[in-house]
A and B are shown apart, each in its own frame.
Chain A
Amino acid sequence: MRVSTQQMHQRAVELMLEQQTRVAKTQQQLASGKRFETASEDPVAAVKAMSLEREIAVTKQYQANADSVRDRQEAEEAALTGVTDLLHRVRELMVQANNDTLSDTDRQSLALALDQGVEELLGLANARDGSGEYLFSGFQGGTRPFSRDGEGQFAYEGDQGQRMLGIGPGVTVAMTDSGAEVFQRVRAGNGTFVTAADTSNNGSGAISVGQATDSWLAGSYTLVFSQVAADQPVTFEVRDGAGTLVTNGEYASGAAIQFNGAEISVTGTPADGDRFSIEPAGYRDIFSVIQGAAQALEGGGDDPSARAQLYSALDRGLAELDGALEHVLLQRARVGSRLSLIESQTQTNGAFQDAATETLSNVQDLDYAEAATRLQMQMLGLEAAQQSYVSIQSLSLFNYLR
């Protein structure tokens, strides 16, 4: 086998270049800390790293979303706490008002306090978040949700929209609650039906809010009292919307009147022809509940019929206020469970992020100890190649032809 002189030189140079390339590669790895610079060096790992980086970025975004939802929900919780405290105070005032010994002045001042409560509640319902968006106006973030119109009625200017946000893969959580949901979904009366004394009543009969059983047959009913003569017993009859008699009997103050799954009672002395209505309960807003009680108090209650009106109204008001409290507490419970969901999802996200980051590191980060050893070996190889080249190239028969 002949080795040509030119090839010998060329091969030695090529070998040295090869070794140098390897050394440079390892050096680059050591400098960057990465196992590969371009995807083609390890396509599988590079694409895996890309998808891990994407998953980490998505999770980061989920965490940012969770933070946004948390901020907003905490603001809502603060407002709802304010509402609960306020409703408790209003309830105390209403219990105080339900007292025979109160004078007109007392009632006026209580009414004033209740009005104050309405204003305070309006303030809470029109609360804004850190960026100036109204908390309770649904999607109409820039619109002040609640206001009192010229006739003292409460108008809701927002809508029923609820903003959702993803805080984890497939986990979506509500970020807002509309004012309609929070403040306007209080069931009237006892939650099933509403009782009311007719304004033209003359007697002192006051109607309770009553209670419903499961067999409540929804409909409008009228309770009418009649007394043929002063010495005759007072009787009552209940008729439904079509005028059909549902039940009747002799009246006794405070005795239960039961019909179609409803149980109500009337106290005091109703006059002949006094009427009370029993209607299916719709929804009321909390403002109207308090304002209704305040207006009833302002209406006074010195004569028996007015007092009966007042007590009917206060009784209903208290029941509705309890309903409102329950509703707001339910809302707070919802916020609370959302916050705990966010908390647990944040932990899940964090755990995933840690795991993904570790996997990413395994996939793309350099094993320094291995790389350093490799560099030593390669440098040794390069030195050997250089030294052997220098020694071999000096060997020539011509050296001896002198």
Chain B
Amino acid sequence: MAIGANLSDLGLSGLRAAQIGLATTSHNIANAGTAGYSRQRVELATATPILEGGSYFGTGTRLVDVRRSYDQLLTRELLTDTAAAAQDRVQHGLASQLDALFSDSATGLAPMLQGYFDALEDAAADPSSGTARQVLLDQADQLATRFRTLDSRLQQARADVEGNARTSVDRINALASGIAQLNLGIVQAQGMGAAPNDLLDQRDELVRQLAEQVAVTTQVQDDGALNVFIGSGQTLVMGAKASRLAVVRSDADPAATGLVLLGSGGGGVEVTDQIRGGALGAQIGFERGLLADAERQLGQIALGLTDAMNAQHRLGMDQNGKIGGDLFTALNDPALVAQRAQGHGSNTGEARLEVTVDSLTAFRDSDYVLTYDGTDYRLVQASDSRVVGMFADLPQTFADEGFSIDLAQGAMAAGDSFTIRPAAGAAGAMRMVLSDTASLALASPVRGTVSADNLGDARIGSVSATGLSGLSLADPVTLTYDAASGGFLVGSPPGGTLPYDPAADSGSSLTLSVTGFGDLAFSISRTPADGDTFTIEANRGGTGDNANALSLSALQDSGILRQGTATLAQGYERAVSLIASRISGLALAADAQEALLQRAQASREALSGVNLDEEAAALLQYQQAYEASARVIAVSNELFQTLLGALRG
């Protein structure tokens, strides 16, 4: 009688199983260092037993499957953490350039600002000195140059963002088409009934590399294909088809990098706002966040300095006796005015807008968006979506925001939008525009004189002028005290009377408006005698006067920025502080994300990774199983020989 299965068949099945085990273990050892490889293991089951004589007899072992140790949840977690860690790491790297740029004394603004104000003080101490004036001009020029240098570095950073985005996009496109091809192979292989472990691993690895560039979500189809989505569900890979990303200028901001997802049909849709995570998300986030903030703050400081210095310089008199002009490029230079309003790429109208800056102190730390619906314009603050105003016509002045918008040319069509950046271009356009030291207006344009014939002890002081037309005071203004009428008779021009009560008005400020010149402010103190005269005249030859230099220098301590709460230097310090805090926040986030990523990697490795000691043990185990199975065949052979011997015998 035959007992169950053939002994040699049993041995053979064991021998085959051990061989498969050895091969799989060797495959594991070979791929111990392969990125994305999942450890494979052999799954065996007992072969179908046979029923004989009322009992089941085993027929050996059979191979069920070679499975990879894989967990979808762990893989998904790894994808999320990879994208987040890459974004934080890359963004921290990008932002760190700004850190050094703004806070280093060799590249930052602070030392130049200080140098300029120091030179101003030195010129105030010795206003007729050509050397002091030259130093002041040089410092002003260097300050303007530093603004431009900082700006060009920021522009360079923008250009780098675009370049990096292109590299990322190329990589993403390559990976996407790789995944699509693998999908094709996997669907075919799956159709034959078995899981193509190594192809699956390869695809997972490509998806992981994709997550380093951009955050993705995935979905496995029944046929084994993996669909990949980016942003808020935009399809990058669908089965065997991959879409393409392309770098363009952003619609809402022609200066910034935008991304378009090109469908297989050719039509593109901008996805810049939806892109998150990975190196690409970091580039976009950096450009729209910290870089835009740094540009805006630098621009506002440039505008603040320009506005304050130019306005005060125009109230002074230069060494040629002329009223001062602009010290730096004009606040509302034609080139700047146009640069402040950027039409969106999708606009259909021909409108060109101009934005005029009216008041720096009203400035807010935000951009604005102007839209037109065919009937009304709507201005919205970008940072918090606050509606600034709705109106039917342009031009409009926004006193609480500090600027005005005017239509320079054409008209906006319904649905057109403009991004308004009041400080745009200011730092890059900043130049010192004075040509020679004599044009520095360090003196007051007017001076007061007490007549030597006066009998009373009254003095005239604090003589200054505002609202100047740009022309010098042509004729002296004489004030003659008339005790009877209790005030001064003002000589013509401008004529009229000026009440003055020595008991009440001594030392307080008096004002007179002179047509063709501007407004005079001065004070009379103590008691004039009847008929005493005082003269206010053009400060000709007043080369030793430093009154306007002192006023310029006092701007160092005046609240010019941030609704009047910050001086220029403080405004810059706050910008540095903002940048530094964000970067330090990014560094912390990057560390935290890195830790999360390491944990996710460790979890995946714990399940899917290859441990060589384990494989060595498996190698021994399968080797022994092989030897044992071979022994079974040998025993079967011996049994057969025994039988033959018995028959012979």
Residues of A within 8 A of B (CB): 1-7, 11, 14, 38-44, 46-47, 50-51, 53-54, 57-58, 61, 64-65, 68-69, 131, 133, 137-143, 156, 159-161, 163-166, 169, 172, 175-176, 180, 184, 218, 280-283, 285, 396-398, 401
Contacts and interface: CB of A to CB of B under 8 A. Distances in A.
B114 A7 contact: no
Given A50-B103, A161-B545, A163-B546, A283 B454 contact: yes
B601 interface: yes
B125 A3 contact: no
B612 A398 contact: yes
Which among A142, A156, A159 has the highest number of chain B CB atoms within 10 Å?
A: A159
A4 B114 contact: no
A40 B128 contact: no
A1 B541 CA distance: 91
Contact of A6 (B124, B449, B610): B610
7 contacts: A7-B601, A39-B577, A47-B577, A50-B576, A54-B573, A141-B127, A164-B547
Interface stretch (B83-91, B306-314, B411-419, B578-586): B578-586
B249 to A, nearest CB: 30
Contact of B452 (A44, A165, A184): A184
Interface of B: 32-33, 95-96, 99-100, 102-104, 110, 114, 117-118, 121-122, 124-129, 443, 447-450, 452-455, 529, 539, 541-547, 550, 553-554, 556-557, 569-570, 573-574, 576-577, 579-581, 583-584, 587, 598, 601-602, 605-614, 616-617, 619-620
A229 B279 CA distance: 123
Contact of A139 (B543, B556, B617): B543
A131 B129 contact: yes
Which among A38, A172, A398 has the highest number of chain B CB atoms within 10 Å?
A: A38
Given A140-B541, A159-B542, A282-B453, 6 more contacts: A2-B605, A4-B608, A139-B443, A156-B452, A396-B616, A397-B613
A54 B110 contact: yes
Contact of A39 (B452, B579, B601): B579
Nearest to B128: A141
A65 B546 CA distance: 13
A398 B613 CA distance: 7
Contacts of B114: 54, 57-58
B612 A139 contact: no
Nearest to A129: B126
A327 to B, nearest CB: 12
A6 B580 CA distance: 37
Contacts of B574: 47
A58 B567 CA distance: 14
A186 B581 CA distance: 65
A41 B546 CA distance: 43
B559 to A, nearest CB: 15
Contacts of A38: 96, 99-100, 103-104, 580, 583
Given A396-B613, A397-B612, A398-B616, A5 B606 contact: no
A5 B95 CA distance: 36
Nearest to A40: B583
Given A7-B601, A68-B125, A141-B128, A51 B543 contact: no
A277 to B, nearest CB: 15
Given A46-B576, A139-B443, A281-B455, A160 B121 contact: no
A68 B126 contact: yes
A139 B32 contact: no
Nearest to A54: B569
A51 B573 contact: yes
Contacts of A1: 606
B294 to A, nearest CB: 12
Contacts of B104: 38
Given A40-B584, A133-B128, A160-B450, A139 B613 contact: no
Closest 10 CB pairs of A and B: A4-B609, A141-B544, A39-B580, A39-B103, A40-B583, A43-B580, A139-B545, A139-B542, A397-B616, A68-B125
Contacts of B584: 40-43
B448 A160 contact: yes
Contacts of A142: 128, 541, 543-544
A40 B584 CA distance: 5
Contacts of B610: 4-6
Contact of A396 (B452, B541, B570, B612): B612
A165 B529 CA distance: 32
Contacts of A161: 447, 539, 542, 544-545
Nearest to A62: B121
A164 B605 CA distance: 76
Contacts of B616: 396-398, 401
Nearest to B584: A40
Nearest to B616: A397
B620 to A, nearest CB: 7
Contacts of B570: 51
Contact of A133 (B452, B544, B581, B612): B544
A164 B612 contact: no
A137 B541 CA distance: 11
A4 B543 contact: no
Contact of A61 (B121, B598, B612, B614): B121
A166 B576 contact: no
B121 A166 contact: yes
Contact of B612 (A5, A163, A165): A5
Contacts of A141: 127-128, 543-544
B613 A143 contact: no
A5 B611 contact: yes
B178 to A, nearest CB: 23
Nearest to B609: A4
Contacts of B602: 7
A4 B573 CA distance: 49
A126 B216 CA distance: 85
Contacts of A137: 544
Given A159-B447, A397-B616, A401-B616, A143 B32 contact: no
Nearest to B583: A40
Contacts of B613: 5, 396-397
Contacts of A11: 598
A44 B584 CA distance: 11
Contacts of A14: 598
A126 to B, nearest CB: 15
A41 B5 CA distance: 76
A138 B605 CA distance: 86
Contacts of A176: 544
A164 B541 CA distance: 18
Nearest to A400: B616
Nearest to B100: A38
A165 B550 contact: yes
Contacts of A69: 125
A146 B613 CA distance: 106
B231 to A, nearest CB: 29
B395 to A, nearest CB: 39
B502 to A, nearest CB: 14
A58 B608 CA distance: 64
Contacts of B557: 169
A398 B584 CA distance: 46
B612 A401 contact: no
B205 to A, nearest CB: 14
Contacts of A172: 550
Nearest to A157: B541
B587 A166 contact: no
Contact of A218 (B33, B529, B544): B529
Contacts of A51: 569-570, 573
B447 A180 contact: no
Given A6-B33, A398-B612, A40 B587 contact: yes
B110 A65 contact: no
A280 B125 contact: no
Given A39-B99, A139-B447, A164-B546, A283 B580 contact: no
A397 B104 CA distance: 54
A46 B449 contact: no
